[in-house]
Structures are given as structure tokens and as C-alpha cells.
């Protein structure tokens, strides 16, 4: 009997350790954030004012890096704000590992390439600002996964294609700007599902079914 109990206990203990091990293997921490930000830095091809070159150094905590803030509770990166710093390059998909990111603002730079769909893994994101860059290509369907998004600025880029249907899932979105791009196709009906929306800017695109689509600015 004692041996049966001992065996049961050992079995329980090993299962417990196994589950803990699995949880740990998938765990992200501030080191994940550091490697995500270093991957992001490595794809920056021009930084004429040396904003990141020396500052984003592994000899200091990511939480003290310029443009980065952390949240105290989780000790993870909370915001990345690199507005108007004359940066050029593409966006590393590893940015999708900043799982506690709430604010991402890289507006008014010279970033190019595609909108990395990995950004759509940032489930806590409330504000995404890519305004005034040189992004091209489509807006990923996975955009609808960003269910806490309140502010979405994609204006003045070279984005093209349809606005994804999934945008209707952004029930907390207040502000949506996509003016001055090369978007086309119909405005999806699902836009009426966005119950928090107060502003939508669609001007200077090639949308169909909206007369005067060059000047249209809905204020709902």
C-alpha cells in the first residue's frame, strides 16, 4: 500500500514537473523582448541621427533604451515609440514576440516593406501608428485578431488591396486612418460592426462604391 502511494506520488510529481517544464519552455520574458528589439534594430538600414546605434546596447536594460518603456507589473516592454527619427529599414517579424506591447508608434520615418502579419499576434495592442512611411502590400486578414485596438493609423503609405473583412472584429477601435494609400475595392460591410468607431479617414485611395472617394472623410 505504501509503495502504491509512493508510486502515485512520484507519478503526480513527475507530471507536475513535466507541465511546469512545458510552461517554462514556452515562457517569454524580458530576454525575449530584448532579442525581439535587437532583431528590429538589425533591420534598420539608416539611422542618421544615431538614435539607436549606441543607445540600444545589451549593457543596459531594454527598459532604459530610447523609445522603450516597460510595465512594472510584468517587467515586459509596454511601448515602443520611435516617431520622426529618420529611420529606414523593414520591420522584423520578431516584433510579434513583444507580447505585452500596448503602444507601437513608428510613424514619420522611412520604413518600407510589408506590414508583418506577426504584429497581429500583439493581442494587448491598443494603439498602432505606422502613418507617414513607405509600407507596401496588403493589410493582413489577421488584423481582426487585435481585439483591443483603439487607434489604428496607416495613413500616407503605399498600402494596397482590400480592407480586410476581419476589421469588423475591432469592436474597441475608435479611430481608423488609412488615407493616402493605394487601397481599392469596396469598403467592407463589417465596418458597421465597429461599435466604438468615431472617425474613419479613407481619402486619396481607389475605393469603389464611394463617390468622391478622394475627399471622403466619414465622421460617424
Ligand X SMILES: *[C@@H]1O[C@H](CO)[C@@H](O)[C@H](O)[C@H]1NC(C)=O
Residue 6, C-alpha cell as written in the block: 509512493
Instruction: Write the DSSP string, 157-205.
Output: SEEEEPPPGGGGG-TT--EEE--SSEEEEEPPGGGGG-TT--EEE--SS
Does the protein bind ligand X through residue 124 (CB under 6 A)? no
Does the protein bind ligand X through residue 136 (CB under 6 A)? yes
Give the nearer residue to ligand X in terms of CB position, either 102 or 158: 158
- Window of 11-19, 93-101, 123-131, 148-156 that interacts with ligand X by CB under 6 A: 93-101
Helix (H, G, I), strand (E, B) or coil at 110: strand
Does the protein bind ligand X through residue 29 (CB under 6 A)? yes
Among 31, 45, 147, 210, interactor with ligand X by CB under 6 A = 31
Does the protein bind ligand X through residue 118 (CB under 6 A)? yes
Does the protein bind ligand X through residue 45 (CB under 6 A)? no
Does the protein bind ligand X through residue 169 (CB under 6 A)? yes
Among 93, 137, 138, 185, interactor with ligand X by CB under 6 A = 93
> 204: burial class by Cβ within 10 Å (0-12, 13-18, 19+)?
middle
- b/e per residue, 144-165, with b = 16+ CB within 10 A? bbbeebebbbbbbbebbeebbe
What DSSP state is assigned to residue 138?
P
Does the protein bind ligand X through residue 113 (CB under 6 A)? no
Residue 82 CB neighbours (<10 A): 21
Which residues make Cβ contacts (< 8 Å) with residue 9, sequence separation at least 6? none
Give the nearer residue to ligand X in terms of CB position, either 9 or 18: 18
Residue 87 CB neighbours (<10 A): 23
Least distance from C-beta 12 to ligand X, angstroms? 25
Does the protein bind ligand X through residue 66 (CB under 6 A)? yes
Does the protein bind ligand X through residue 195 (CB under 6 A)? no
Among 76, 108, 124, 180, interactor with ligand X by CB under 6 A = 108
Q: Give residues in contact with ligand X (CB under 6 A).
A: 27-32, 55, 57, 60, 64-66, 84, 86, 93-94, 96-97, 108-110, 112, 118, 134, 136, 158, 165-166, 168-169, 190, 193
Amino acid at each position: 500500500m505504501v509503495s502504491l502511494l509512493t508510486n502515485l506520488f512520484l507519478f503526480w510529481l513527475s507530471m507536475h514537473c513535466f507541465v511546469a517544464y512545458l510552461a517554462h519552455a514556452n515562457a517569454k520574458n524580458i530576454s525575449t523582448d530584448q532579442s525581439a528589439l535587437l532583431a528590429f534594430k538589425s533591420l534598420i538600414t539608416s539611422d542618421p541621427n544615431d538614435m539607436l546605434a549606441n543607445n540600444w546596447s545589451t549593457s543596459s536594460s531594454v527598459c532604459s533604451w530610447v523609445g522603450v518603456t516597460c510595465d512594472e507589473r510584468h517587467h515586459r516592454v509596454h511601448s515602443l515609440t520611435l516617431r520622426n527619427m529618420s529611420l529606414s529599414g523593414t520591420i522584423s517579424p520578431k516584433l510579434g514576440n513583444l507580447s505585452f506591447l500596448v503602444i507601437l508608434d513608428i510613424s514619420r520615418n522611412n520604413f518600407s516593406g510589408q506590414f508583418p502579419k506577426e504584429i497581429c499576434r500583439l493581442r494587448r495592442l491598443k494603439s498602432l501608428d505606422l502613418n507617414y512611411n513607405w509600407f507596401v502590400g496588403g493589410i493582413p486578414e489577421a488584423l481582426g485578431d487585435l481585439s483591443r485596438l483603439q487607434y489604428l493609423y496607416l495613413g500616407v503609405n503605399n498600402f494596397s488591396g482590400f480592407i480586410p473583412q476581419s476589421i469588423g472584429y475591432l469592436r474597441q477601435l475608435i479611430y481608423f486612418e488609412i488615407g493616402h494609400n493605394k487601397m481599392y475595392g469596396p469598403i467592407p460591410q463589417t465596418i458597421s460592426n465597429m461599435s466604438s468607431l468615431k472617425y474613419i479617414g479613407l481619402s486619396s485611395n481607389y475605393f469603389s462604391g464611394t463617390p468622391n472617394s478622394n475627399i471622403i472623410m466619414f465622421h460617424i
